Structures are given as structure tokens and as C-alpha cells.
A and B are shown apart, each in its own frame.
Chain A
């Protein structure tokens, strides 16, 4: 019975099995995934190239991504990305369960699992947005030198401290923010930081325990911390206060680090978004009984292939961006 229905469907939809015994749709989904994987490979290899090029000044990822919801100020390296990985793997499981239920033509079960998959995808993309928010806002702040190096500040115990912890705020500071309200909308100035360089300098001078941490990685795989004398000397080169990250500069260290973060996780996030969209369309078709009428749940399988691919890419992004 099942076989007859499938034959009918293949005649209508042109799903004749080719020499590799795969339906045309599935085969093309696989080849699309192949080419898309190569795009991601290109991105990650580009990251690898830049990292090798700046081997001894590259930021250490678990010092950058150490936030966890409701644990403000607690150093939680990688817990959150690990959680995101679990969410995505779990949504892959519900997806493959939907495909499995589709083989058995159980419409309600497919719908439930598709719904859970969509939910997992939404939670993941929300988590990624939160990760981006933390990355863009930054947590400590730093200064940049004339040569473009980032200098971070550490306290007595060698742990990084925020500009807000020590900067001496000048009450007479003139806020020259270029806003529309000041009728300066036509002037394109640099965005203003919370603390001016002079305020950071004043705070640094007032606290003799503060030292500077440079971008250089030592043999012990930590960032180099200068002595107080060297710190005083080095801070003379500072020209700019950097808070958070954007495509031009970031407080975490090397400029291209943020660019790669935005591009790779952004491109992956874009795939997650389209995956959710595809899953929603399939979900409604399941509810409407489209695949029951067609006699085959192969569309769930094809959507599933794409969704697993998104998970597959994340496994690699997780390793090469966060772990290695």
C-alpha cells in the first residue's frame, strides 16, 4: 500500500530515484549542504590564517566569552556556549525524531517534534543575540595606543578590572556629544566613550596597584602583565578609550577578532534563522495534512537535513572559535 502511494507521488513530483538511489530533492539538498559547508570552511580557515598570522597577540577566547545569565560578574568561561551547543544538539534530536515519525506517517507526532525543534531554534538564536549583546557592550573597557595595540587594566591580583572601577570622573567635563539635539547632526564625529582618556589616566595615577596587561601571550599562555613602571611608560602611548566591540576596534585585543566573530557566528545565525523559517513552513504543512495527501513526509527529511547541517556547522564553530 505504502509503495503504491509512493509511486504515485513520484510520478506527480518527478522524484524518480537516480543511479545513487537517492531522490532528486534529497540529493540536491546534500549538494547544497556540501557547497555551503565549503563556504563555512573558507570562513573558519580564514580565521585560522589570521590567527596564525598574529599567533602571539590573539585574544584568548575563554577570557572574552565568560558571561552567564543571572551570574553577573562571575567568571563563567564557556558555560554559556556549552549550553547553546546542547540546545542546538537537542533540537537536532527532536528534528530527527520528527523525521522518524514521518517515516511512520504519524502526523501528530511529527507536528509535536517539529514544534519542539522550532522552539529549540528560537532559544538558540535568542542566546546568540545575548552573546552578541555582551560582546558588543564589553565588560571591562581598554585603551588603544597610537600603534593600534589594546591595553587592558589589571588590579593587584592580576585580574582584569573595568574602567568604571578606577576612572576618576571629572565633574567639569564638557559633554561634547554630537547629537541632533545639539544641532550637530551634520557632523560625523567619533562615538564618545563613557570615560575620557584623561579620566582613565587620572584613575590610573591615583591607584598605584593598577598595572597594564598587553595583548602579548607569554609562554605560559597567559597575557603579559607589565610592571608598574613599564605600565606608566606604556600608558603614555594611549590615544583612545575603547569600550566593547564593533567592526573597527574592540576592547578584547586584535581588531580582526571581532570581525571574524561577527561574520562567522552571524552567518551561522543567519542559517539558523532560515532553518527556523523552513521548519515553520513545514510545521504548518504538517498541520494542514499536506504530506499525508502527498503520501510521503520526505519534505520533513529535507528540512531536517538542513537543520542538522546548521548543528554540524555549530559543532565546528564551537571548537575553532571557543575551544582551540
Chain B
């Protein structure tokens, strides 16, 4: 019923606001990607540069706006939101963690181990 009530007035203003935010984030990303400030690009935390952390945070921020605003996840029931966004985040984070640790391990093997030929 609530959805029906909101359905008839236009959300155009909010849509343009989200577009403006997404564009601004993209411009910041591209500017950082082109200039690559020394202080961010060459400082590493857990083998990943600070610049890359910024890129990842900005990307997730953009994804949040696309899913919540453009795909109207905001207006769905909380339980439904969790079945999509919750499941997706959990599985992706799980996969990324395991596989990147493995990739790093293989790199170490190539660098230092005696038994490279197994790979």
C-alpha cells in the first residue's frame, strides 16, 4: 500500500541528485587514477596501496547508490534487501579473501620456493 501511495509522485529530482553524486565520485576516481599522488600510491597496508583502498571504497559507495536508489532496493522490505545484498556481499568477500590469499601464496612460491616446477 505504501508503495502505491509513493508511486504517483515523481522522483526525478532525487534521480538527478544521485546522478550528480555518481558523476562526482567517478571524476574523483579518474583524477586520482591519472595523477596517482605519491603519498597514496606508495603507502601500503597489507600489500595494497592506500590509493587502491580509496578506489575500492568509492566503488562500493557507487554500487550502493545504484542498488539502493536506481534499483529501488531502498523501497523493498528489509528481509528482501538482505536476501540480495547480504548474500552477495558475504559470498563475494569470502571468495575474494580466499582466492587473493592463494594468489599471494603462489607468488611467494614463484619467488622463493624450491619446488616451482610443481606449479
Contact = CB atoms under 8 A, between A and B. Distances in A.
A and B co-occur in one complex: yes
Interface of A: 2-3, 6, 20-22, 27, 30-31, 33-34, 37-38, 41-42, 45-46, 48-55, 62, 77-79, 82, 85-86, 89-90, 92-93, 95-97, 99-101, 103-104, 221, 301, 304-305, 308-309, 311-312, 315-316, 318-319, 322-324
Interface residues of B, number: 56
B21 to A, nearest CB: 10
In terms of DSSP, what is the predominant structure of the interface of chain B? Answer: helix
Nearest to A81: B30
Given A90-B19, A93-B16, A20 B79 contact: yes
Contacts of A315: 59, 62-63, 66
Given A53-B110, A77-B34, A89 B76 contact: no
Contacts of A304: 70-71
Nearest to A221: B41
Contacts, number: 145
Given A86-B26, A308-B66, A49 B56 contact: no
A276 B20 CA distance: 24
Most-contacted residue by chain B among A30, A53, A90, A323 (CB, 10 A): A323
A89 B95 contact: no
B80 A22 contact: yes
A86 B100 contact: no
B10 interface: yes
Contact of A86 (B23, B99, B104): B23
B103 A48 contact: yes
20 contacts: A2-B4, A34-B84, A41-B91, A41-B96, A45-B96, A49-B99, A50-B103, A52-B100, A52-B103, A53-B110, A79-B30, A93-B70, A96-B15, A97-B12, A221-B42, A305-B71, A308-B66, A315-B59, A319-B56, A319-B59
Given A308-B70, A309-B71, 19 more contacts: A2-B8, A38-B88, A41-B96, A45-B95, A45-B100, A48-B100, A49-B100, A49-B103, A49-B106, A53-B107, A62-B33, A77-B33, A78-B34, A86-B23, A93-B19, A100-B15, A312-B63, A323-B29, A324-B55
